[in-house]
């Protein structure tokens, strides 16, 4: 299913009601987020493109930039009030995605912007634990009780018998 334009809320707009040029432009903007085309995307947002525009999977421009590891674009979108706590249609957070992809700088940028490491499934803290990313646990502010018994522990972190 193709990317589509959505309102700055979680609801989606039916792309059948939009002109082909609008849909094509939205595709270019989602591609710019994935590719890290900071100049193009930030100019478009500054010109009126909704900063929390979502595609057909509920991924925002910020999610796509963060997941692809584009720290400068992530910062620019956050400065323009992109929501660091949006979840996609699968209930995944962008900060957990950045942990999963080992984009540590993006994780730090998102934390500084107020991204909640305890939302989504798995949470960013759970993802850091699952993948043995101990150095990120402190960055994420992990506390006792953040990792439930149902969260897998990596073999490298299990005590030897």
Confirm whether pTM is higher than 0.85.
Answer: no
pLDDT at 17: 80
Query: Distance between CA atoms of 85 and 83, rounded to whole angstroms?
Result: 5
Contact 36, 68 (CB under 8 A): yes
* Residues linked to residue 93 through DSSP beta bridges, in sequence order: 87
pLDDT at 88: 97
Task: Return the domain boundaries, the chain.
Answer: 15-157
* Residues linked to residue 54 through DSSP beta bridges, in sequence order: 60
Q: Provide CB contacts within 8 A for 77, sequence distance 6+.
A: 41, 42, 45, 51, 61, 62, 65
> In a structure prediction context, what are the per-residue pLDDT tens digits for the chain, which is 161 residues long?
344 444 444 445 566 787 889 889 999 999 999 999 999 999 999 999 999 999 999 999 999 999 999 999 999 999 999 999 999 999 999 999 999 999 999 999 999 999 999 999 999 999 999 998 989 999 999 998 888 777 777 665 554 54
Residue of 104, 155, 107 lying closest to 130 (CA atoms): 155
Run of H or E residues at 117: none
Residue 94's φ and ψ, nearest 5 degrees, are -70, -30
pLDDT at 145: 84
CB neighbours of residue 135 within 10 Å:
9
pLDDT at 2: 42
Contact 86, 33 (CB under 8 A): no
Q: What is the CATH number of domain 15-157?
A: 1.25.40.20
Query: Distance between CA atoms of 50 and 133, rounded to whole angstroms?
Result: 34
pLDDT at 13: 56
Run of H or E residues at 101: none
pLDDT at 14: 66
pLDDT at 35: 98
pLDDT at 139: 94
Q: Provide CB contacts within 8 A for 113, sequence distance 6+.
A: 78, 84
């Amino acid at each position: 299913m193709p990317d589509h334009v959505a309102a700055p809320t979680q609801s989606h707009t039916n792309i059948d009601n939009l002109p082909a040029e609008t849909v094509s432009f939205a595709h270019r903007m989602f591609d710019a987020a994935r590719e890290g085309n900071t100049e193009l995307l930030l100019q478009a947002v500054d010109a009126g493109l909704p900063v929390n525009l979502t595609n057909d999977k509920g991924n925002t421009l910020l999610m796509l930039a963060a997941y692809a590891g584009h720290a400068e674009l992530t910062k620019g979108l956050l400065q323009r009030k992109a929501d660091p706590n949006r979840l996609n249609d699968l209930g995944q957070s962008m900060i957990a995605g950045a942990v999963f992809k080992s984009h540590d700088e993006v994780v730090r940028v998102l934390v500084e912007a107020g991204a909640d490491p305890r939302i989504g499934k798995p949470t960013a803290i759970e993802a850091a634990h699952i993948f043995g990313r101990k150095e990120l646990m402190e960055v994420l502010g992990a506390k006792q009780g953040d990792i439930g018994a149902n969260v897998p522990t990596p073999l490298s972190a299990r005590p030897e018998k």
